[in-house]
Structure 1
Amino acid sequence: MAVLEQRLLYYVTVLAILLLHCSSFLSAQIPQNYSSTANISTTWINHPLPILNSTNLNTATPILIRGLGFACGFYCNWDGKVSSRDCVFGVLIYQNRFSLPDGYSLLFLQFPQLVWSTNRNNLVQPNATLQLTQDGDLVLANSDGTLVWSSNTAGKSVSGMKLTEMGNLVLFGRNNEIIWQSFDHPTDSLLLGQQLAPGQQLTLTASVSATNLSEGLLSLTISHDGLSAYTESNPPQQYFAYSFYDYPAEFRNGSFGGMDIPPASAAQFMRFGPDGHLKVYEWAGSNWLPVADLLATDFGDCGYPMVCGRYGVCSNGQCGCPETTNSQAAFFSQINFRQPNLGCSLVTPISCDHSQYHSLLELNNTYYFAFNSSSYAKKIKAEDCKNMCLSNCSCKAALFSIDPGEKTSKRKGSCLLLNEVFSMTNHENYMGLYYNTTLFVKVQNHYDKPSRHKIVILAYTLGAFFGVFFVIGSCLVIFRHRLKESNEIEGDFLDQVPGMPTRYSYENLKAATEDFSQKLGEGGFGSVYEGALNDGIKIAVKCLDGLGQVKDSFLVEVKTIGSIHHVNLVKLIGFCFEKSHRLLVYEYMANGSLDRWIFGGKQDHSLPWLTRKKIILDIAKGLAYLHEDCSQKIIHLDIKPQNILLDQHFNAKVSDFGLSKLIDKDQSRFVTTMRGTPGYLAPEWLNSEITEKVDVYSFGIVMLEILCGRKNLDWSKNEEDRHLLNVFKRKAEEEKLQDLVDKKNEDMLIHVEEAVEMMGIAAWCLQGNYTKRPSMSLVVKVLEGLVAAETNLDYDFTNSSVVRTFGDQRQEADDVAASLLLPSALSGPR
């Protein structure tokens, strides 16, 4: 009777909503006879319909249904307003469904759970469309026609789409072979029966929260070796690892990779949640309940990265902030006292401009979840560990641990530098489990206030020189007025320089970018926005932030970069120099940055061989022009895939000269502070003796990434395969370089020999001794087949004989390289 009363209550609630919004729902009527398959040249429109649920009234548009268990279609969060819905296209698992009486022809799914989706970072609205096109591409577009997602299967002989009995959405060919499947592209969930293909690796990314489907900071990588959970920081911080002993890695009834799961008595699914847990849920007759937690830490809930937010300390399940002694001021405060799990914030934010006031708050008996990270600097003293953090502004904390046999603070241990600090754990009651760990958290001290005696002296001084200050103040007023005129004159002067780009007013660019509403990303010294000129030409507008250095950078880019024209350099087509506004207008690059296409990831792009080969040559030509053909030699200093942009025809162009150093053509080398991005820095940076060969080294790294289809540093892989250069060296010694060629694209397998030859050119560019690296103009000739490449190569790419002074000691560069480069991106403000 209770179940009958509950269903009746649901029925009455839904019927009331239907009556209130009759016109909307009646227009959304769809047939009840759903199929599990669909043919090509079919289009579906998102007409949200009610979903029966005990806690909310979300809506859905079912497209395919497989028996009593799975449905695919549009799924929408609903806030109670008919016109306000945010929707994804995905797969739902459910257990009960029923329809309203004839005449409504509406289907209701009870307690559905979203287990896969395509567009959780780019939600669509009612009237969005899903189309299985004639050429076999599955395309999701918003109500205004904007492309949101595509399966990228056009031209691959797709015959139709089906939803399998396991909940796998499949695009199949003429012989029923799988061409594309949702099981290869999971979001945050796995389904019973889902397993890894040979050599496959899957990544689950948790949502921000239970109500916000967007990707959060927590990721879980699953391979045949095991699973690894980590936070998306720089570098990623691992909080859980497990090695499988049961192959293949399959979500079976009762187990997953050797981990035990209660045998299923009803439907089950697995979800990686916003709290960092990997839980198995089972249908309990009236709702979904967790039956297993596969990521159980030694500290319970306190062992997860976000349990107490950033800088939060978890103790026996309670959240607080790092405490200080009675003689110290409080450095942290809770963000929300009513919700301590939201974390803590620094009372005084850390400022790199006042690093002399930085200090480290020592937290004993404190465990940090990244304790088992492989990025430790080994065999150093605690004081050296602290100094490493204090000398690097990007470092927010240092984790130091001493081996069991080491008994005094003078002994050496392991040091891990952290760029971000998430939840910490007070392990005072677990001393037998984690030994001798200390967390040094960087804080900003208040500036010392002058003493009463100094204030008195200052008062007399001010009185005595009041007249002088009055004169100085008057001069400042006059100077400010003239400076304003000077700025305008300087701006007018830019208009008179021959060959200068077009000058735009701030209001023109504000209108062109629709009030800077479409942000493309972060660029040098500011943000980049998409826009369009009056003639329809699309542009990218970089807004420079702040004053001082920004002004100098602006003048350098406009006067120097604006006069440089090369097919493989992003063109500066205009600028704005108006009052405090400094903006640069660049040509728009339709295909974005190179990293999106070679690292795959969530969009899983894959480039054919000829395209990759052309991109490598384009980059080389752009750098050769900067190094040798400009009136001033330009060294980029930050070559990486993110700074290589691709136009609509996949022509590669070098971008972002914010870190470039302009030098005279007859100047062979110069000394500068370390800048750039870890993983792409040449060994000679440790000696601060820099030539254009640092760009050649970075080019070699990028070249390898393009050929191998992976990042230089990939934390999802085993420790021995994590660094691409280490794998490259090992495979070269084994004469198995063909194993490194990217196999995501079948076309690459046809050109393995050519790819291996090009790896030899990359190795030439990566020589540890910069004098043995080729110039970029020579690289261009080799790539064009005009000159033979050097074959007598040293594969120890990080080897450097330079010596650098560090603290009070002189250490070999090889000993300090890891501790200097691993923790952070050293490029500083861009």
Structure 2
Amino acid sequence: MPPIIIIATLALLALSYAPAPAAAATTADAVSARRPLRGNDTIVSAQGKFVLGLFSPAGSSGRFYLGIWYGNIPVQTVIWVGNRASPLSDVASAELRVSAHDGNLELVGLAASPSSSSTPSVVWSSNMSSTSLPSSSPGSNTAVIRDTGNLVLLDGGNSSNVLWQSFDHPTDTQVPEAWLGENKLTGEYQTVTSWRNAQDPAPGMFSDTVDPNGSSEFFFLWNRSRTYWRSGVWTGRVFAGVPEATNNVLFNQTYVETPAYRRVTDVLYDNATITRTVLDLTGQMKQYVWVPASQSWQFFWAAPTVQCDVYAVCGAFGVCDQRSQPSCQCPPGFAPASERDWTLSDWSGGCRRSSPLACARNGSTTDGFLPLNDVKLPDDSVAVSAAQSEAECESACLKNCSCQAYTFSGGGCAVWHGEFRNLQQLYSDSGASGSPGLYLRLSESGLRDLRNAEKGKKGDRTLWLALGIALAGVAALGASSFLAWRILLARRSMSSNEKGSSLAVYSYGDLRAATKNFSQRLGGGGFGSVYRGVLKQKGKKGDSATIQVAVKKLESLRQGDKQFRTEVSTLGQIQHVNLVRLLGFCSAGDDKMLVYEYMPNGSLDGYLFGGDSGSCPSWRDRYGIMLGVARGLVYLHDGCHECIIHCDIKPENILLDEGMSPRIADFGMAKLVGRDFSRALTTMRGTIGYLAPEWISGQPISAKADVYSFGMVLFEIISGQRNSEGHGRHGNGGDEVEAAGCSAFFPVWAAGKVVEGDVGAVADARLRGEVKADELERACRVACWCIQDQEAHRPTMAQVVQALEGVVRVHAPPVPRRLQHLVSLT
């Protein structure tokens, strides 16, 4: 279904299954009345891509299902299940056959339900009506598994007539060329539905279907009733809510409506790619791509992007916490309703009270309330207008035995009766616990158990404290003196470190002395100037050492001290091998500075455009820099708690460490300088050449603005020349040639060459052809996709990394036609 594309690390528990039985015999690609499929036998598609047979999900011994899985990868991964709600208990007696009576495809065997008889019966059928089946010789029909993964039932008298097909009846997985939508002639819907849990393919709580009211929009539904995600309508090119879907580097997604049907389907750009899209049992639609190098499935994207955006994913009373693993937790005083289901990642059963409420018919009760801090309130509240205070609100809830929780704010009271869902844990920006948003009703015994548990923890702490005091009293005077000395050192350390942070806090005098009164300027821009400095640092053995640092003096920053320290503390937690590390800061009135680790090899612009004709970065170094910068941006966009948009990717902000590995600098500056950010950015020399069109035109920006800037930087790394210099003289193979249209913006000219297939013309002439052709083509194509006029047509940085690594094939991009016009305006 139309995706939101992101990269993340998620378990494949519900998607990988036990290997097929070793004794299974493989036959041709067809099943008929004369040649049924029995027991462990399988049939394989013509090119061996898909297999049809019986399987048993891992851990579900004694239950067998008719399924289709990939035949050309070692991990058995099922894409379709026939009898998903009616498992077989035995393989030996199972038989898939074409009925000689009515021509239907049917599975016969012993049902696994306790009430079933000991005689084999039909547990699944294609269930074609008599009017749909051919009138003559229905027993001559044939079932064939195709290389698309589609199981088709063909008319015995006319093999081109498809009577039934599995693509019309998907389960939880979509593969390329399959479809979702509506058959207008029969009124049937092609809907994918999640598994119940990792061991049970029966229909679960979540489904994906086209709008039953006739529009082109697709909905994700909880319990077949409540919409929790929607694609937006098809505009003719994209789904309005997720335009990124048409820019998938794996396939082209298309919505088609005819008098017979309306549906969406995906067509691969490269048939060698193996990919599948699954409506996971946790309610997210996820796409995976098979990586031959690692022989494993790699997660590609998900919709919704955030697990907790799935409605009621944690069931009744469950709390979704995006920072926890797993995402679903039970509140205090509650436990999972089914521990087994939770171990199988099925949280839909929710939580139950550890002790029941005590409420008499006359309303008398000994129950109380537990405050839950920083939670998103449940849906479907009932307002109590008579309650004018929090005490009245609490009393109103206690007097009603069905009342489970209440909240009071702004003079209004709301209560919840019976089970409630969709609780989410929130986090305040400051990291401090916020005021209680919800008061959860618990029994007296339940509250007492919680208090006793807390007392037990405090008692343990008290016991250890008493033990420590006793030991300290027995210790020798020398040990006591040593302890006192250590405490003194710790207190001194606290004065130079921000509480709760590993960042060092420096005084203005410290940094002025370290930089020799800010005399050695390394560079600067709209955010301020950067100076080289040397700081003294205590070694692990107590010896003194010096380290080189880069000190950035921030200019025109109007933030208060407390807000500045909070934002800087957040930035200090962001660490990645391709990001410059923040070591400390100074906040002394209007003087605010950041202290970074020093990068001895300077910035990428000096490395590429330093003017030293005898120096030329090798292609290997350039490609390593491309990948490093891309990985750093993926971390900023997807690896942090909040997406960080850099907003100023350019060679000057890419530094090189002692090993020539790239480190992105100046990330998080938008958060620091706030509303002054746009002013600071647009006044920086040369930056305008890297700004995305939507930013220049004043529209809101997303992480795709960084993708655009990265594409511009890619062209500079590939060509070894500034984008802003045009392409009037550009060498190829060492011979400089005069290019037509000297006034054209270089990336536009370069994009044209890439589309023509002449990527060699874009490469730096100083390399003299010493490049890897496949890497050059990938890099050039990626750069073209990154600088597309419409942000929806650009890939995500996660996709960029996969493309540069060669995990996915990058198809030929179009030329960004608006670029030249935008450049003329700026």
Sort the TM-score into its range (normalised by shorter chain): 0.3 to 0.5
State the structure with more CA Rg: 2
Structure 1 length-normalised TM: 0.34
TM-score, normalised relative to structure 2: 0.35
